């Protein structure tokens, strides 16, 4: 009962605030972000009233399945925006921009945080600094996709924007996997090339292969269904 009440409050807060932010010509995703802050454990949740907000991070973690499902739908929606005909024209540009953005962001944040580590070694461990640099390269594909769809944006900028966002996150995922492997090696004190680089990259490659296989199966089943009803 409390779970349903908390979800209802979250949905109501998000939808209600969209009416307010539209008065200031802001996208709906702004309202969802504000609503998330308000119902979080540090604002309304801090009052300790059941159902009014999420009281603790432990309570939020109980909704992990919903978060995973939402992220899956977001990734599927972004992938649905890709067209092979469009990628032939903008694929190289999107790949260069997305890769350069992710790599340079990681390097700059890593450099800044490693510098802070030497200034405050007790506050910021070196493994955490390395991992946070990779995390900084991640973009927000959900927010980008929602804004594009809300305003029905069309044009060359929109055509290249979504592939860049998707490729940036893909490169960021590889960087995070490698950075996490380096961080684990620093913590354990054992530098193993297999665990630092090869295993994370193998996990990413296998995930891509599995996704491509499932996409091919879904595409084939859709063609068979259309052929059956013709």
Q: Are residues 99 and 190 in the same domain?
A: yes
**148 is in which domain, residue-wise?**
75-229
pLDDT at 230: 63
Residue 165 domain flag:
yes
pTM: 0.71
pLDDT at 115: 94
What are 43-79's pLDDT values in tens digits? 777 777 665 667 667 777 777 777 778 877 777 777 7
Distance between CA 109 and CA 106 in Å, rounded?
Answer: 5
pLDDT at 4: 72
* Angle of the 64-80 helix axis to the 156-188 helix axis, nearest 10: 140
For residues 31 and 17, the answer to whether their CB atoms sit within 8 Å is yes
Q: Are residues 43 and 84 in the same domain?
A: no
Residue finishing a domain among 62, 92, 112: 62
Residue 67 domain flag:
no
Q: Are residues 7 and 50 in the same domain?
A: yes
pLDDT at 195: 66
pLDDT at 188: 78
Residue finishing a domain among 62, 83, 111: 62
pLDDT at 72: 78
Integer angstrom CA distances of residue 217 from 17, 86, 107, 223, 228? 41, 23, 38, 10, 16
Q: Are residues 105 and 34 in the same domain?
A: no
Provide the mean pLDDT of the chain.
81
Three-point CA angle 126, 131, 134, nearest 5° = 135
pLDDT at 116: 93
Tokens for 72, please give them.
């899956």
Residue 39 domain flag:
yes
Q: Are residues 133 and 199 in the same domain?
A: yes
Residue 166 domain flag:
yes
What are 207-225's pLDDT values in tens digits? 888 888 988 888 888 887 7
Q: Are residues 55 and 83 in the same domain?
A: no
Domain count, the chain: 2
Integer angstrom CA distances of residue 178 from 116, 185, 198? 21, 11, 8
In the predicted model, residues of the chain with pLDDT beneath 70 are 1-3, 49-53, 55-56, 81-87, 191, 193-196, 229-230
């Amino acid at each position: 009962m409390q779970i349903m009440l908390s979800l209802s409050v979250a949905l109501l807060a998000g939808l209600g605030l969209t009416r307010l932010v539209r008065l200031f010509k802001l996208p709906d995703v702004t309202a969802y972000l504000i609503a998330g802050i308000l119902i979080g454990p540090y604002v309304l949740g801090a009052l300790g009233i059941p159902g009014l907000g999420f009281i603790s991070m432990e309570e939020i973690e109980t909704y992990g399945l919903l978060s995973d499902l939402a992220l899956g739908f977001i990734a599927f929606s972004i992938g649905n925006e890709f067209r092979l005909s469009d990628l032939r024209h903008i694929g190289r540009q999107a790949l260069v921009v997305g890769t350069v953005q992710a790599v340079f962001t990681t390097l700059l944040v890593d450099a800044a945080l490693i510098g802070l580590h030497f200034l405050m070694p007790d506050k910021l461990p070196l493994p955490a600094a390395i991992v946070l640099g990779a995390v900084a390269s991640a973009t927000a594909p959900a927010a980008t996709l929602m804004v594009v769809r809300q305003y029905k944006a069309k044009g060359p900028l929109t055509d290249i924007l979504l592939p860049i966002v998707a490729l940036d996150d893909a490169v960021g995922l590889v960087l995070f996997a490698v950075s996490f492997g380096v961080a684990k090696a620093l913590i354990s004190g054992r530098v193993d090339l297999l665990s630092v680089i090869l295993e994370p990259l193998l996990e990413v490659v296998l995930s891509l292969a599995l996704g491509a296989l499932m996409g091919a199966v879904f595409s084939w089943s859709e063609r068979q269904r259309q052929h059956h009803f013709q």
